[in-house]
Amino acid sequence: MADKETPYESRLFINNEFVHATSGRTLSVHNPANGDYVGCVEVAGAGDVDAAVRAAGAAFKGPWSTFTGAKRRDCLIKFADLIEKRIETLARVETLSMGAPIMFTQHLLGPWSVSALKAAAGYADKIEGQSFTDQDDGMYKIVEWCPAGVCAALSTWNAGLVYFAFYVGAALASGNTLIYKASEKSPFNALMIADLIPEAGFPPGVLNIVSGDGETGALLASHMQVRVLGFTGSAPTGKKVAELAAQSNMKKTILELGGKAPGIVFDDCDVKNVLQVCAQHFLAINGQACTASTRLLVQSAVADQITQGMKEAFEQVEAMMPCDPLDPTAGVGALADEKQLRHVLDGLEMGKQSGGRVLTGGSRKGTVGCYVQPTIFVDVDEDSRLWREEVYGPVVLIKTFETEEEAIRLGNDTEYGLAAQIFTTDMARAIRVARKMEAGVVSINAGGVGDLQSAFGGTKASGHGRTGGWYGLREFMEPKTIKINMNYRQD
């Protein structure tokens, strides 16, 4: 049953049961499109986090340790099938909570989440090891991949269902137990499917769900019994998470942080494709994507064409604002909440003060809801804060370049290294430039989204560790080497 103050489940889920938080605190969620109350969740305090970790520890050493890879696989597949039946409801609540259009949450995030769980399940009974012969030193060596133990994950809000699937799938397929905390901006997605966990066949304690803000996240990051911590969010928060992890028990961290991705547009590009990726797709969730090309570097020969096309596309989207994200035809949603709105508005002011010229947009859109005009800056100085810092909103900087070498220099001129996009019909040049980009994911003639097979994650200040495919599972495991002295003879 849901708490009386909210139409959605608000309690914690620990040891296969819904329980009330002992902290006495709650967090409220409001619809960013109109300010309406959506619901509230109970906040996990220190005692609640301890209880979740104890349950996870008992499950790891107990019933869950007896599950074969095939049995873990079957539980994850059943869990995914059960979730799939609730996608429509889950998508609606996601849209109400964080403002993304319903067509995005229902037709992209929902199906992708189900597929991600099933993809991870496929690895559960295929975890390989290695062996080395004793010919060199008389020692026969076996390297096994072993689950790390009790793990935790702190998720972001812009694609919460997807990150739930990536973290849960990888951690459980590899034999770990997990405490999962969704973002306080969109906390209902995990709670609304928690009752499916025992139905899918997971023993008590294998997957626990807690809610809360940064304080709850800090409790998990610093907990002495948590061995691996996954975090998706901003770079400043990621640094704090890493510090807490190191200061506690040196737990391994998987950090997928922010970006200031370059989109490098060469003069032989498909202009229509560039505008579709860098304007239409970019603005669908108001630029709230860590891989988005927020620094658009355009070769001078096509600069006027691209700049004018971007301006027209941005102004077309602004004309639709504000709109109801629950409308199936809505092509754009709202920013996630008032805090995110203030952050983006601060970024716009920062850009104006740094000398950048506003080509279009530059202000809040209306007075109701969390909407900002899609904004393009030109002539932004490379040493300015706007060039260096992530705004995480519908804000793009356009800068021209002449040569391939200059494009590479400008593209890598950032502390971030999550993603980069390259637009050209010359595949040899595309591969050549891609290999020189300091980024974890480089896309050619496409946006920088993740997938279910390859590695997704960043370098430099964009973090470390990977999600996706076997790479994601490996982050939750540790290699163990077993050596056998083949020359040993018992007397």
Residues taking part in catalysis: 256
Handedness of CA 232, 237, 239, 241 (dihedral sign): negative
Q: Is residue 397 within 8 Å of residue 354, measured between CB atoms?
A: no
- Separation in Å, CA 430 to CA 273, 433, 445: 15, 5, 9
Helix 427-436 to helix 404-412 angle (10° resolution) is 40
- 3-class DSSP assignment, residue 385: helix
Beta strands in 166-235 (DSSP E): 177-181, 207-210, 228-232
* Distance separating alpha carbons of residues 377 and 66, to the nearest angstrom: 58
- 3-class DSSP assignment, residue 297: strand
Of 171, 182, 161, 178, which Cα lies nearest the Cα of 113? 161
Q: Is residue 258 within 8 Å of residue 235, measured between CB atoms?
A: yes
Of 176, 206, 181, which Cα lies nearest the Cα of 79? 206
DSSP per-residue letters across 418-479: SEEEEE-S-HHHHHHHHHH--SSEEEESS-----SSS-B--EETTEE--BSHHHHHHHTEEE
Residue 48: half-sphere exposure toward Cβ, Cα within 13 Å? 28
Q: How many CB atoms lie within 10 A of CB 226?
A: 27
294: Cβ–Cβ under 8 A, 6 or more apart, which residues? 259, 260, 261, 287, 390, 391, 395, 396, 397
Burial of 62 (0-12, 13-18, 19+ CB in 10 A): middle
* Distance separating alpha carbons of residues 41 and 371, to the nearest angstrom: 25
| CA angle, 75 then 78 then 83, to 5° | 125
Tokens for 172, please give them.
């459980």
